[in-house]
Amino acid sequence: MRLLWLLTALLAPPAIAQDAEGRRLFTSVTPACALCHTLKDAGAAGAIGPSLDELKPDAERVVKALRNGIGQMPAFRHLTEQEVQSLARYVESVAGR
């Protein structure tokens, strides 16, 4: 799976590679965003947090939620700045498609 992601990142146009990294993070960070949130592009059907497809947050809102937490969602302080930005851009680009 990691090899597939690496090949996608190396061979795909930058926007597609960015989406691949964001999707990977969405489904694999601990705890995984996909456990709580619905996001069709990621194949996620979580029912604890809001549906990101309905909410359609912009990247700034996602960054703020990841850094500070919101409601029951914890802050994801263990993520690097690059990971936070990748996740935020990914969610913004695919939410509501």
pLDDT (tens place) for every residue of the chain, 97 residues total:
555 545 555 554 455 556 789 999 999 999 999 999 999 999 999 999 999 999 999 999 999 999 999 999 999 999 999 999 999 999 999 998 7
Architecture of domain 18-94: Orthogonal Bundle (1.10)
- Token pair, residue 85, equals 């930005």
Q: For the packed helices 81-94 and 14-28, what is the interaxial angle rounded to 10 degrees?
A: 100
For 77, phi and psi rounded to 5 degrees? -70, -15
Query: HSE-up of 5 (CA within 13 Å, CB side)?
Result: 12
Judge whether 22 and 44 are in contact, CB under 8 Å. Answer: no
User: Position of tokens 């601990």?
Assistant: 30
Where would I find the H helices in the chain? 2-11, 14-28, 33-36, 52-55, 59-68, 81-94
Any idea where the domains of the chain sit in the sequence? Answer: 18-94
- Token pair, residue 24, equals 């990977």
